[in-house]
Amino acid sequence: MELAILMGVLLLLLAIGVPVAFALMGASIACFLALDIPLVVVFQRMAAGVSTFSLMAIPFFIFAGDLMYRAGIADRLVQIAEAAFGRSRGGLGIVTVGASTMFGAVSGSAIASASAIGSTLMPSMKARGYGDDYAVNVTATAAIVGLLIPPSHNMIIYSAASGIGVSIGDLFLAGVIPGILTAFLLALVSWIVAVKRGYPRGVFPGWARFLRAIVLAIPGLFAAVIIMGGILSGMFTATESSAIAVVYTIVIGAFAYRSLGWNRFREAAAQSVRITAMVLLIIGSATAFGHALAILEAPTQLAGLITSITDNPILVLLIINVILLLLGTFMDMSPLIIITTPILLPIAVDIGVDPVHFGIIMMLNLGIGLVTPPVGSVLFVASAIGKTRMETALRTIWPFYGVLIVALLLVTFVPALSLTLPGWFK
């Protein structure tokens, strides 16, 4: 009965448009009232959920990503990608994927990638005769790569939610090959669709301009080297690396590129505070919701249900993926990581899945949810930037969904894609 109240209130609040954080909080309060548990426990669990030291990295990575965007680093990455791939037929689609991959290596945010790369490349695509739907679809799906390429604050949330101390450094390394694979598949389908539609070729700007673009982008890209190099060498933790990334970005933005003035700095700080507040509120509310699920023994019941259907590891992973894909269509990524990790990770571990590998499966799976209605926050952002109705983009997005599912299946059933790099640095 109490589980029905918990889920029923959550679905009702989401259906009437209540923000996810408050829907989770309201469902938790309703459940605790039904269980006759003091409501102070809800707020105690919320406070405990955001009191994890590793979560301190999230506001710094968000701030660093916003600073990089306002310092014009995204524009320089676009110049590299355009010089390298722009001459192909439909090259701007491939450029979008390439630029999103590189920007993901310095921001780790899908929405930031869609905003930064989309605002730069969508007008160019439209001016050269590309379809509005194509521009939105490429921009939205390419932004998912940023969730896999380190640093990714969602990996930090997964590490905290796992309860077993999954290494953030291992997660960062594990996302590299799956991220590159996903980017390659998206670039391939972008090229195929562009050829089919007869989109124009670009013109190679010459080696001088190509090399100049690389030189100008190196200071920005070096942020990723500092972050990963410092973590892997043991010089500093992921939390410390996030703070160093902020300082480094300020220095190169203000002095190397001379594009980060006081006004842009203030805008980045204000925007980062808003986003951090939303993320931490969601994490706290999801922690309280997860505590209610634990009291009701929902993880045990779900594990029993899945194992009663099958004990075949392949089928169990397929069932888990379907569950995550469905949940991702109507709930944002951060709360789903907090809620589902304690439930699904033990099931995955029981069938022999490495926790680091499972984390990458979750990142890609829930990333697909960010471009899937009815929530689809990244698809919504890309549609808004492209001034295109989401319904228009959805009519032709299916090839991109198809390659994302292919990438998800490869990541799920080929563990070496995720575990090879972490294994090298053991």
Instruction: Convert the pLDDT of each residue in 129-142 to its tens digit.
Output: 888 899 999 999 99
What mean pLDDT do residues 170-189 have? Answer: 94
List 201's β-bridge partners, or say none.
89
Backbone angles phi, psi at 206, to 5 degrees: 105, 155
In the chain, the percentage of residues whose pLDDT exceeds 70 is 97
pLDDT band at 148 (very low <50, low <70, confident <90, very high): very high
Q: What is the DSSP string of 216-228?
A: HHHHHHHHHHHHH
Peptide bond into 151 cis (omega under 30): yes
54 or 60: whose pLDDT is higher?
60
Q: What is the DSSP string of 90-119?
A: THHHHHHHHHHHHHHHHH--HHHHHHHHHH
In the chain, domain spans: 54-288+296-424
Q: Can you tell me whether residue 393 is helix, strand or coil?
A: helix
R_g (Cα) of the chain, nearest Å: 21
Pick from 366, 346, 324, 341: nearest CA to 286? 341
The pLDDT of residue 111: 79
* Cα–Cα distance for residue pair 188/202, rounded to 1 Å: 17
- Enter the tokens of residue 333: 């990524």
Mean pLDDT over each residue of the chain, to the nearest integer:
85
pLDDT band at 145 (very low <50, low <70, confident <90, very high): very high
* Cα–Cα distance for residue pair 18/415, rounded to 1 Å: 38
What mean pLDDT do residues 236-245 have? Answer: 82
Asked whether the beta carbons of 152 and 110 are under 8 A apart, the reply is no
* Cα–Cα distance for residue pair 83/17, rounded to 1 Å: 44
Interval 373-395: pLDDT, tens? 877 888 888 888 888 888 888 88
Using CA atoms, how far residue 233 sits from 156, 160, 169, 175, 353, in Å, is 19, 22, 10, 18, 27
Residue bearing tokens 């959550």: 10
Interval 265-320: pLDDT, tens? 899 889 888 888 888 888 888 888 888 888 888 777 887 888 888 889 999 999 99
Asked whether the beta carbons of 154 and 168 are under 8 A apart, the reply is no
* Cα–Cα distance for residue pair 342/319, rounded to 1 Å: 16
What mean pLDDT do residues 33-43 have? Answer: 87
Whether the pLDDT of residue 209 is over 80: the answer is no
82 or 145: whose pLDDT is higher?
145
- Enter the tokens of residue 126: 């439209």
What is the signed CA dihedral for 283, 242, 182, 355, rounded to 10 degrees?
-60
List 89's β-bridge partners, or say none.
201
Asked whether the beta carbons of 331 and 340 are under 8 A apart, the reply is no
Residue type, 136: V
What mean pLDDT do residues 183-208 have? Answer: 84
The pLDDT of residue 139: 92
Spacing of C-alpha 409 from chain mean position = 18
pLDDT band at 204 (very low <50, low <70, confident <90, very high): low
Backbone angles phi, psi at 201, to 5 degrees: -85, 155
The pLDDT of residue 86: 66
* Cα–Cα distance for residue pair 397/81, rounded to 1 Å: 23
Q: What is the DSSP string of 257-326?
A: S----HHHHHHHHHHHHHHHHHHHHHHHHHHHHHHHHHHTTHHHHHHHHHHHH---HHHHHHHHHHHHHH
What mean pLDDT do residues 25-30 have? Answer: 91
- Enter the tokens of residue 193: 């669709």
Interval 331-348: pLDDT, tens? 888 888 988 998 899 999
State the maximum Cα–Cα separation within the chain, in Å, rounded to a whole number.
72
Residue type, 355: P
Whether the pLDDT of residue 203 is over 70: the answer is no
Using CA atoms, how far residue 426 sits from 14, 24, 173, 304, 420, in Å, is 43, 39, 11, 35, 10
What mean pLDDT do residues 403-407 have? Answer: 96
pLDDT band at 206 (very low <50, low <70, confident <90, very high): low
* Cα–Cα distance for residue pair 329/375, rounded to 1 Å: 6
pLDDT band at 353 (very low <50, low <70, confident <90, very high): very high
